Amino acid sequence: MAKYIYPAVFDPNENGGYTVTFPDLPGCVTEGDNLDDALLMAAEAMALHLYGMERDGDPIPAASKVGDHLIPDDAEPSAFVTLIQARTEPIRDELQNRAVKKTLTIPQWLNEEAEEAGINFSQLLQYAIKEKLGIVDKRP
């Protein structure tokens, strides 16, 4: 299971919350209404960002050291850096196992017979696709 730890900059904003950025992960930005919320949002944003990089085959950058100068010059004086930990496996599982809606076409008589028999079309289609592909019981 991929576990990552990166420094995050927590910059107080005008609404009393925090804007969170990751110097090593350009484009990974989030906000929280308070510190607790910002910490939760930071871990989720980082996990989603890194999952996207893994999925796309992008190289995962090395994390900076907390002692490095990470706070931007235009940040509030009370901005601070802390380490955030995130795992990408739960994100991967959730996104790859979410339901995807498909439309199918079958003759009306077959639809009526199947409904009368109480057939669950989604379950049957999943079973048939797995059987056709030779998948026993595999999760992505």
Mean pLDDT, to the nearest integer, of 31-36? 96
Percent of the chain scoring above 90 in pLDDT: 65
Is the confidence at residue 98, as pLDDT, over 90?
Answer: no
What pLDDT is stored for residue 70 in this prediction? 87
Is the confidence at residue 26, as pLDDT, over 90?
Answer: yes
Is the confidence at residue 54, as pLDDT, over 80?
Answer: yes
For tokens 């308070």, the residue is 34
How many domains are contained in the chain? Answer: 2
What pLDDT is stored for residue 138 in this prediction? 55
- Two tokens at 28? 């990974």
Give yes or no: residues 77 and 31 share one domain.
Answer: yes
Q: What is the DSSP letter of 135?
A: -
Percent of the chain scoring above 70 in pLDDT: 96
CA–CA gap between residue 66 and residue 63 (Å, rounded):
9
**Domain coverage including residue 58:** 3-96
The CATH number assigned to the domain holding 40 equals 3.30.160.250
Give yes or no: residues 115 and 84 share one domain.
Answer: no
